Amino acid sequence: MNLSSFARAILCLFISVGQAVAQPPDNFRDASSEQLFFNARIITGDGAVIEQGSVLVRGDTILAVGSTSSIDTSQHAIRHDLSGKTIIPALVNTHAHLGWEAYGDWGSQFFTAENLADHLFRHAFYGVGTIISTGSDKEELAALVKLEQLKGNIGGARYHLSPGMGTPGGGPNPRFTDDPDYWGVHPVADPEQAVRTVKELAANGYGIAKIWVDSRDERRGAQVKLAPEIYTAVLETASSYDMRIIAHATTLADHKSLVNLGNRRFIHMPYDREVDDEYLEMIRENNVYIVPTLGMITKREPYYIPAFQDPFFYDQVPASVLESLNDNYNPPPADQSAAAEQRSAMLARNLAKLKDHIILGTDAGAVGDFFGYADHVELELFVRMGMSPAEAIVASTSRSAEAFGLNSVGSLKAGKAADFMILDANPLDDIRNTRQIIDVYLRGKRVDREALKQQWSQ
């Protein structure tokens, strides 16, 4: 794509994504103005809770967080009395696939600047402030959208890119690779190519990349699993360029091998067997982070509710889309066999044992889950499988940010980005209260959720 067609795309985007969204809200006047959010319960994201607390924001940055009485404000600060409300950091989602989804439709034909921006706004609407798109972005276009966002021309969740590496013909699930216009992963057929590829990605400014360690043999015929000597080369080279690698791996044996060879982040937890003490010790010693993507593996559980039956999703979706989601819904029935129950119990035990390592990721945009909405479903699943609400919030905010060195987001502290949600109920009482969103602020600016909802539900 050349720059002039990109400029046209951006122009379209401003017309269609809505001027109400592009313009600052009334209560935000200039970058130096201060806003005080006071008398709220503040869940800081790193485990602390301040009752009757305040957050003081200047421009896009938090100046101070503390008890309301301890905060010094200028007389000119805009004041928001939040008695009875709760503030939590905006969520940090480390695993989704932006650009491909158009609700019911899906494919590379939708990968446009406009659709990418829409996906950033859909995350923002639901209080997700940061999103890492993992291994499926059309990199040239995605990088331009990211650049426009850094310049302040596109709002929504902060967009991070994570190019993918895999064996030739390998990579993501067949839905991607069956698409005739799939642009492919960066092939790494041997250690030399792995070293070259990581260096190239680093030279292009990428600080995060993904590898697939998955053969998917039966479904697409003898795809060769990324070999340990190749991922060793990836991991070693990446570490010397301060690049963070996240590995897609689903078996306990692959997890152990990857940790042994230097991997510290996983998409998917071991699904094939119960985790053992050896693994638990390895991940503790090496401070390993794991995205369990529970939403993806619980669709046949009896408690599963499709998004189009949940007002938290369907209230902001066009009626025509809902109709088609409804019409096309043809799931396998809930599996309540003894084997399925045993497997569910095993996965819940794994999640509970891994809970201090868990971070947020939804895989939304790849498997039929919806941006932003799926994040709240995932939080609920964290708690259903054994985390406390407080632990689920830490996992989805500060720990997710820490896993990728995203130091400005994920917690509410002086010097951090002013990215947070204001809730009407306390999520520590019931994790589903993260859905009681009154407002979302990103970069110190109120996200105009009403305007977005209007635009989407027309």
Q: How far is the CB of 96 from Zn ion (least distance, A)?
A: 7
Q: Which is nearer to Zn ion, 148 or 363 (CB)?
A: 363
Q: Which is nearer to Zn ion, 36 or 366 (CB)?
A: 366
CA distance 289 to 284: 10
CA distances from 418 to 33, 44, 344 (A): 13, 12, 38
Contact of 397 with 404, CB cutoff 8 Å: no
Q: Which is nearer to Zn ion, 354 or 366 (CB)?
A: 366
Q: Which is nearer to Zn ion, 136 or 316 (CB)?
A: 136
Q: How far is the CB of 173 from Zn ion (least distance, A)?
A: 8
Q: How far is the CB of 169 from Zn ion (least distance, A)?
A: 18
Gyration radius of the chain's alpha carbons: 22
* Nearest in space to 321 (alpha carbons), one of 118, 151, 175, 181: 118
CA distance 137 to 134: 7
Q: How far is the CB of 95 from Zn ion (least distance, A)?
A: 6
Binding to Zn ion by CB under 5 A, coded x per residue (else -) over 327-366, reads: ------------------------------------x--x
* Nearest in space to 359 (alpha carbons), one of 323, 392, 383: 392
Site for Zn ion in 10-29 (CB under 5 A): none
CA distance 11 to 4: 10
Q: Which is nearer to Zn ion, 363 or 419 (CB)?
A: 363
Nearby residues of 208 by Cβ (< 8 Å), 6 or more positions away = 132, 160, 161, 162, 243, 244, 245, 246, 404
Q: How far is the CB of 177 from Zn ion (least distance, A)?
A: 13
Q: How far is the CB of 134 from Zn ion (least distance, A)?
A: 6
Q: How far is the CB of 363 from Zn ion (least distance, A)?
A: 4
Residue 210: in which H helix or E strand, if any?
A: strand 208-212
Q: Which is nearer to Zn ion, 96 or 322 (CB)?
A: 96
Contact of 437 with 126, CB cutoff 8 Å: yes
Q: Which two tokens stand for residue 186?
A: 């960066």
Q: Which is nearer to Zn ion, 375 or 391 (CB)?
A: 375
Helices (H), ranges, 189-276 = 191-203, 217-220, 228-240, 252-260
Binding to Zn ion by CB under 5 A, coded x per residue (else -) over 219-248, reads: ------------------------------
CA distances from 392 to 93, 313, 357, 378 (A): 13, 21, 11, 9
Q: Which is nearer to Zn ion, 156 or 365 (CB)?
A: 365
Q: How far is the CB of 431 from Zn ion (least distance, A)?
A: 23
Residue nearest to Zn ion (CB): 363
DSSP string, 304-338: ---GGG-HHHHTTS-HHHHHHHHHT--PPPP--SH
CA distance 255 to 152: 39
Q: How far is the CB of 267 from Zn ion (least distance, A)?
A: 6
Q: Which is nearer to Zn ion, 365 or 444 (CB)?
A: 365
Q: Which is nearer to Zn ion, 246 or 366 (CB)?
A: 366
Q: Which is nearer to Zn ion, 102 or 390 (CB)?
A: 102
Cα 42 off chain centre by:
22
- Does 137 contact Zn ion by CB under 5 A? no
Site for Zn ion in 263-282 (CB under 5 A): none
* Nearest in space to 94 (alpha carbons), one of 228, 268, 216: 268
Residue 313 sits at φ, ψ, to 5 deg, of -95, -55
Q: How far is the CB of 130 from Zn ion (least distance, A)?
A: 17
Q: How far is the CB of 296 from Zn ion (least distance, A)?
A: 8
Report how many residues bind Zn ion under the rule CB under 5 A.
2
Binding residues vs Zn ion (CB under 5 A): 363, 366
